[in-house]
A = this chain, B = another copy of it.
Amino acid sequence: MRARQTGRLATQPALTIAVVLLSSAGGKLAVLLQRQTGAGARDRWSLPRDIERSGETIERAARRIAKGALGGDPSWLEQLATFNNHRQKPTQGTVTVAYLGLVPGGAERPMGSHRGWFSLADMPTLTLPEGEFVAASLKAARERMDHAPIGFRLLPTTFTLSELQAVYEVLLGRKLHKASFRRALQAAWLVVPLEEWRTEGRGRPAQLYRYAPRRRRISRRSVRFDRLV
């Protein structure tokens, strides 16, 4: 039952780990792409990815890849799913574990010529599997946004409530009611106001807030049949 000495029948190439790094920039979601480096690499953008190293956990490999692409740690890292490319014959047997990483946005780094943030709307065409990873990451972010503080991980440590609302509007795909949004936020005891204000062009300066969940309300959630597909 063990792998043959030839190493062909019951073995397969080491796992590939790909990381979809999402951030918010200017009211939109952005994904980090990089040009493939090395000799035989074609000149196209792709997700940060690498092969798992010997003795390394999948989780640690994902963190290493994210760190290598960002220069720092993401604020959130979570496994998405495992795919195998059964479509393409040449890469038959390739198994990729996709991860979702969230990066505090707002800083708008340019990131150089071989690496950059691309708005999801105007993104270069990726390979079919990589496109699926990005789609899966969006789906996951939207599904988990009310179980995990996804919105807060996409923003820097201090933010305005309008910025927070904009992130949630992008994730939900629709406009939210301002007063209602703030009431719900206040009732959940998730943010604390700072004694700082930020002026952004015209208009009244907005107060800055920090994510600091305080009281853990016993979430007496009911069944939500209305969200079923």
Give chain A's interface residues, CB within 8 Å of chain B.
1-3, 5-15, 40, 51, 54-55, 57-58, 79, 81-84, 86, 92-93, 95, 97, 143-149, 168, 172, 174, 176, 180-181, 184-185, 187-188, 190, 213, 216-217, 219-229
> What are the nearest 10 A-B pairs in CB distance?
A7-B7, A188-B225, A146-B224, A11-B11, A82-B82, A146-B227, A57-B86, A10-B14, A184-B225, A219-B227
Complex-state Cα separation, A93 to B12, whole angstroms: 12
Do A188 and B228 touch (CB < 8 A)?
Answer: yes
Do B82 and A188 touch (CB < 8 A)?
Answer: no
Q: Please, which residue of chain B has its CB at the minimum distance from the CB of A211?
A: B228
Do B227 and A147 touch (CB < 8 A)?
Answer: yes
Give chain B residues whose Cβ lies under 8 Å from the Cβ of A148.
228-229
Give chain B residues whose Cβ lies under 8 Å from the Cβ of A79.
81-82
Q: Please, which residue of chain B has its CB at the minimum distance from the CB of A79?
A: B81
Do A6 and B3 touch (CB < 8 A)?
Answer: no
Q: Please, which residue of chain B has its CB at the minimum distance from the CB of A223?
A: B168
Do A3 and B9 touch (CB < 8 A)?
Answer: no
Complex-state Cα separation, A12 to B5, whole angstroms: 12
Q: Please, which residue of chain B has its CB at the minimum distance from the CB of A191?
A: B225
